[in-house]
Amino acid sequence: MKKLTTKLMIATAALVVVAGAVSAQTQTMKASIPFEFRAGNRVMAAGTYRIENLSPRIGSPLFRLLNVESGGSIAVLPQAPVDPKEGWTAGNAKLLFACAGGNCALTELWSGSGRYAYKFYGPKLGKNETAVLREIPMQPAKGE
């Protein structure tokens, strides 16, 4: 009986550690995006967004963007993991948008930690068109 109790205590402790690690990985971030933008196949309104990494729950990279004011949301699947941009420092989570011709699109997301940022499909540019990159900082969402 004593061995069984010890094994159950060890198993419980292991579950607590795993649950804590998953909880840390699914931390919700927030960002104020002052312009309309495209994410995936949808146009999203300017506003305050909650950004949640759903990857630990499903096993592959997937992010949900939720507009706090309107309730509109989209889940976006990144194209590929990439190295964070030069100059991006740990603890400074970022969203990167490519803006051209008055339209902006989410092109990259970095949580501020981890080895990779995630790249999303950006806008297709015309021959003589260039995109301006706009960085939007993210902060941990409080009370979540």
Classify residue 41 as exposed, middle or buried by CB count within 10 Å of its CB (0-12, 13-18, 19+): exposed
Structure tokens at 1: 């009986």
Query: What pLDDT does residue 24 have?
Result: 42
Query: What pLDDT does residue 21 have?
Result: 38
The secondary structure of residue 131, as a DSSP letter, is P
In the block, tokens 């964070």 appear at: 84
User: Domain tally for the chain?
Assistant: 1
Does residue 10 lie in a domain region? no
Q: Identify the three-state secondary structure at position 61.
A: coil
Does residue 70 lie in a domain region? yes
Query: What pLDDT does residue 26 have?
Result: 58
The distance of Cα 116 from the centroid of its chain, to the nearest Å, equals 11
Domain that holds residue 113: 26-140
Query: What pLDDT does residue 14 have?
Result: 35
- Cα–Cα distance for residue pair 55/48, rounded to 1 Å: 22
Structure tokens at 49: 């967004």
Q: Identify the three-state secondary structure at position 91.
A: coil
Does residue 7 lie in a domain region? no
Q: Give residue-wise pLDDT tens across range 41-93.
A: 899 999 999 999 998 777 778 999 999 999 999 999 999 999 988 888 888 99
Does residue 62 lie in a domain region? yes
Q: Give residue-wise pLDDT tens across range 6-40.
A: 333 333 333 333 333 343 445 799 999 999 999 99
Does residue 9 lie in a domain region? no
What pairs with residue 42 in β-bridges? Answer: 39
Query: What pLDDT does residue 60 have?
Result: 79
Query: What pLDDT does residue 9 have?
Result: 37
Q: Give residue-wise pLDDT tens across range 89-131.
A: 888 999 999 998 889 999 999 999 888 899 998 777 777 888 8
- Cα–Cα distance for residue pair 138/51, rounded to 1 Å: 9
Q: Is the dihedral of CA 85, 87, 89, 92 positive or negative?
A: negative
Query: What pLDDT does residue 12 have?
Result: 34
Does residue 2 lie in a domain region? no
Does residue 11 lie in a domain region? no
Does residue 17 lie in a domain region? no
Kind and range of the H or E element at 22?
Answer: helix 2-25
